[in-house]
Amino acid sequence: MVSWTRAPFGISDLEENAAERYRLSAADPLVKAGRVRCCVRGCDKLLAERKRSGNGADAFCPAHGVSVSHRRPTYVYRDHARNFIVGQELLSIIRKVERKRLGNENSEDALTWNAFLGLSRLGALSSLFPAFTGEAVSTEPELYLWGNRVDMDGSCFWPRLIDVRRRLEKGLTIPTEPDVILRVPGRAIVLVEAKFGSANSTLAKKQDSRGPVHQFLERYCCRQGLPDPLNREWIRAQQAGAVLGQLCRNVIFAHWLAEDNEKAFVVSLVREKEEQQVVQQFRPHLSGSTVGFRRVTWEQVANLVPQQSDAKSLREYLANKTLNLRKAFAYGP
Examine residue 40 and tell whether it contacts Zn ion (CB under 5 A).
yes
CB of 14 to Zn ion, least distance (A): 11
Examine residue 164 and tell whether it contacts Zn ion (CB under 5 A).
no
CB of 37 to Zn ion, least distance (A): 8
Nearer to Zn ion, 61 or 150 (CB): 61
Only segment of 54-62, 70-78, 192-200, 318-326 that touches Zn ion (CB under 5 A): 54-62
* Displacement of CA 323 from its chain's centroid (Å): 13
Only segment of 43-51, 241-249, 257-265, 304-312 that touches Zn ion (CB under 5 A): 43-51
Nearer to Zn ion, 66 or 161 (CB): 66
Only segment of 20-28, 59-67, 133-141, 180-188 that touches Zn ion (CB under 5 A): 59-67
Examine residue 43 and tell whether it contacts Zn ion (CB under 5 A).
yes
Only segment of 32-40, 120-128, 135-143, 174-182 that touches Zn ion (CB under 5 A): 32-40
Give SS3 for 170.
coil
CB of 322 to Zn ion, least distance (A): 15
**Cβ atoms < 10 Å from Cβ of 243:** 22
CB of 35 to Zn ion, least distance (A): 13
**Cβ atoms < 10 Å from Cβ of 105:** 29
Examine residue 63 and tell whether it contacts Zn ion (CB under 5 A).
yes
Only segment of 12-20, 64-72, 107-115, 176-184 that touches Zn ion (CB under 5 A): 64-72
Nearer to Zn ion, 38 or 286 (CB): 38
Examine residue 82 and tell whether it contacts Zn ion (CB under 5 A).
no
Total chain residues near Zn ion (CB under 5 A): 7
Work out which of 21, 37, 50, 64 binds Zn ion, going by CB under 5 A: 64
DSSP type of residue 200 = P
Examine residue 38 and tell whether it contacts Zn ion (CB under 5 A).
yes
**Cβ atoms < 10 Å from Cβ of 301:** 22
Q: How far apart are the first and last CA of the chain?
A: 25
CB of 221 to Zn ion, least distance (A): 52
Q: Which of 192, 206, 196, 254 is nearest to 229 (CA)?
A: 254
CB 81 within 8 A of CB 88: yes
Examine residue 76 and tell whether it contacts Zn ion (CB under 5 A).
no
Rounded Cα distance between 217 and 252, Å, is 10
**Angle (CA) 226 229 233, round 5°:** 110
Beta strand 291-297 with 263-270: parallel, antiparallel or unpaired? parallel
**Angle (CA) 182 154 294, round 5°:** 15
Work out which of 19, 31, 61, 76 binds Zn ion, going by CB under 5 A: 61
Q: Which of 40, 34, 46 is nearest to 18 (CA)?
A: 40
CB of 41 to Zn ion, least distance (A): 9
H-run or E-run covering 299: helix 298-303
CB of 257 to Zn ion, least distance (A): 44
Nearer to Zn ion, 36 or 244 (CB): 36
Examine residue 58 and tell whether it contacts Zn ion (CB under 5 A).
no
CB 112 within 8 A of CB 180: yes
CB of 58 to Zn ion, least distance (A): 13
Rounded Cα distance between 254 and 246, Å, is 12
Examine residue 97 and tell whether it contacts Zn ion (CB under 5 A).
no
Examine residue 45 and tell whether it contacts Zn ion (CB under 5 A).
yes
CB 145 within 8 A of CB 154: no
Examine residue 18 and tell whether it contacts Zn ion (CB under 5 A).
no
Rounded Cα distance between 248 and 229, Å, is 9
Rounded Cα distance between 328 and 322, Å, is 5
Q: Which residues bind Zn ion (CB under 5 A)?
A: 38, 40, 43, 45, 61, 63-64
